[in-house]
Structure 1
Amino acid sequence: MVRSDARRNRDRILAAARAVFAEDGAASMNRIAQRAGVGPGTLYRNYASRDELILDIYREEVEELAESVSESLSTMTPVEALRHWTTELVDAMRKKHALGAALTPDVRKAVTEQTYGPVFGAITLLLDAGKADGSIRADAEPGDFLQLTGALWRASEDRTQPMLSLILDGLTPPARREEPAETP
């Protein structure tokens, strides 16, 4: 079990690292320690390397996002929850893109390996809820949805929702789609 003061230090380090990396992806560990109000020894006891710190930032944020699915499904329809969750994921990916310069190839690989499962699981829950109520087509696959939405964080922010609407429209079961108006 982690002592409460050690947990507070770790939380302060993570919060400071998020803020510092958002300002400068190449920021030093010393700068993070200063922002967190801890000494370098405390920082390195929690995170032996910059890579470990960056990986923990990603892992924690993806876990929080994945855990939000149940709450969203309790207050929204599956399609609304999927739109909301996907928008949150895209926003998080845009923020993390700034960390791209700070990622070594090994960390980039570890981020992908450690965050894929929770993201895939969250998408599966959302799609399954929509399949159960008939609002999402039965053949919708989480991997396909993830691949399609992967382009959203690279698009300009003003294009995110229109593009997401196209993706979500494609998930609508054929029987529920509105027929296009006939042109004379």
Structure 2
Amino acid sequence: MPETAEPETALPGRRGQAARNNVVILDAARHVFLNDPKAPIAQVAERAGVGISALYRRYPSKEALLCRLCHDGLRTYLEEAEAAVAEPDGWAALTGFLARVVDADVHSLTVHLAGTFTPTAEMGQDARRAGELTKKLVERARETGRLRHDAVTEDLGMILECCAAIRVDDPERTAQLRRRYLALLLEGLSAGGPDLPGPPPRPGEMNGRWRPA
């Protein structure tokens, strides 16, 4: 059996401690900024239990920290999309992908943090790749005959954002409700229903919100 790489957080000594501190900082930042995108970075340090100087050594600005949070979410989306396009059943690949992305809570960051920082060139490249993979998933689902004829790739982003908007105090209950409404939305994606009202989102239509205000 081939050896697997040791997780960064399992490294010994100061490097391992630094990696563990980074995980704590990112978890704290996600919690703080999902509740209040305008919160000062000092709140992140306080929640993480680290000094503000330690936080600034890793993330020199609030914008850098927000960028890291959103890029991590985008990378999770890419990983799930890459796995989904390898699945043999196009409809199961699409619906399973959407369920996993909803469970990972990727789009809460999109809903809350768009426009609060300037995306990097690398993020733009990854976003384009994510769009290509999502389009491929839609095309493969359409080939099965189970996807409604007027659904487009951009509809998936709106579905994911609708699910991400569901949030109650209990995380477990939040996950249950998101799965419930994802199931209802997937029924709407299925072939056989009446035509959808209005035109679908245009490619790039939602991109303007990523420009800092």
Matched residues in 2 for 1:128 and 1:113: separation? 23
Matched, 1:107 2:129: no
**Pick aligned residue for 1:149 from 127, 136, 156:** 156
CA deviation string 1:13-40 (max 9, x = no partner): 1111011122222221111011112111
- Distance in 1, matches of 2:88 and 2:65, equals 34
In structure 2, do the counterparts of structure 1 residues 34 and 89 end up closer, same or farther at CA, with 3 Å as the change threshold? same
Tell me if the contact between 1:13 and 1:43 (Cα under 8 Å) persists in the aligned partners: yes
* Residues in 2 aligned to 1:136 and 1:120: alpha-carbon distance in whole angstroms: 22
Amino acid at match of 2:107: M
The answer on 1:48 being equivalent to 2:60 is yes
- 1:122, 1:129 → 2: CA distance? 11
Instruction: Supply the distance in 2 between the matched residues of 1:4 and 1:49 (Cα, whole angstroms).
Output: 23
TM-aligned CA deviation for residue 122 of structure 1: 3.5
Q: 2:93 aligns with which of 74, 81, 85?
A: 81
Distance 1:9 1:68, change over 3 A: same
1:50-96 Cα deviation digits (max 9, x unpaired): 11111111111121232124555677833122113224445532454
Q: Percent identity?
A: 25
Q: 2:33 aligns with which of 21, 25, 34?
A: 21
Letter in 1 for 2:52: P
3-state SS of 1:150 partner:
helix
Closer/same/farther in 2, CA of residues 111 and 74 from structure 1, 3 Å limit: closer
Aligned to 1:32: 44
Gaps in structure 1 of 5+ consecutive residues? 171-184
The residue type paired with residue 151 of structure 1 is M
Q: How many residues align?
A: 158
**Structure 1 residues 58 and 52: alpha-carbon distance in aligned structure 2, compared to 1, 3 A threshold:** same
Give the structure-2-normalised TM-score.
0.57
Deviating more after overlay: 49-58 vs 160-169:
160-169
**Aligned mate of 1:97, from 111, 114, 124:** 111
Deviates more, 1:110-119 or 1:7-16: 110-119
Conservation of the 8 A alpha-carbon contact between 2:85 and 2:133:
no
Partner SS, residue 151 of structure 1: helix
Shift of 1:5: 2.6
Over aligned residues, Cα RMSD in angstroms?
A: 3.6
Q: For the structure 1 residues 7 and 109, does the alpha-carbon distance in structure 2 shift closer, same or farther, using more than 3 Å as the test? A: closer
Query: Displacement of 1:48 after TM fit?
Result: 1.2
The aligned counterpart of 1:179 is none
Q: Which has the higher helix share?
A: 1
TM normalised by structure 1 equals 0.64
Q: Which amino acid aligns with 1:31?
A: Q
Structure 2 gap ranges (5+): 1-7, 9-14, 167-177, 193-213
- The 8 Å contact of residues 84 and 93 in structure 2, kept in 1 or not, is answered as yes
**What is the deviation of 1:107?**
2.5
Cα distance in 2, alignment partners of residues 69 and 150 from structure 1: 13
